[in-house]
Amino acid sequence: MAKESGLGMTISVDDSGGVARAIGNDIPSVVFATPRGVQDVTGINKSAIERILLLADFTITITGVFNDAANLGHDVFKTVPSTSVARTTTIVHSGQTLPGEILYSDYSFTRAATGELTYTAPGALGDGTVPTWA
């Protein structure tokens, strides 16, 4: 197994109608995590912390370049403020796939002083299915 870069990653997100849209072309950066909750269960008889793992989660923040062409980023996320639907989000890299049913909670914009118009779309796991790479 060789180390790899993040080049060649693809991201698809369902639009509000449930149709997967490949929007990776307009995403210059993405942050995603698969954290687990941790509970401190240390008894008074211990000299070091004792913990147990709790529920799994998935979070994502997509940063994209504004593109209002059909079926791309703006078309996918413009309904975030007006619809309450989970959107299948699929990350694929090097033959590995990480799918999740994600609730996107915002679709915000930044217009830089130099003219760039970018958006941010944060989301979190919505259906209780453990995020698993396949």
Give pLDDT, residue 1: 67
pLDDT above 90 coverage of the chain, percent: 96
Assign domain 10-125 to a CATH class: mainly beta
pLDDT band at 9 (very low <50, low <70, confident <90, very high): very high
Cα 62 from Cα 3, distance rounded (Å): 24
Residue range 33-81, pLDDT digits in tens: 999 999 999 999 999 999 999 999 999 999 999 999 999 999 999 999 9
What is the C-alpha to C-alpha distance for residues 31 and 63, in angstroms, rounded to an integer? 8
* Model confidence, pTM: 0.91
Sign for the pseudo-dihedral over CA of 74, 75, 76, 80: positive
**Average of per-residue pLDDT across 100-129:** 97
What SS3 state is found at 73? helix
Domain boundaries, the chain: 10-125
Tell me the C-alpha to C-alpha distance, in Å, between residue 104 and each of 4, 75, 76, 82: 29, 14, 11, 11
Please answer whether residues 117 and 28 qualify as being in contact, where contact means their C-beta atoms are separated by less than 8 angstroms.
no
**What distance in Å separates the CA atoms of residue 51 and residue 63, rounded to the nearest whole number?**
34
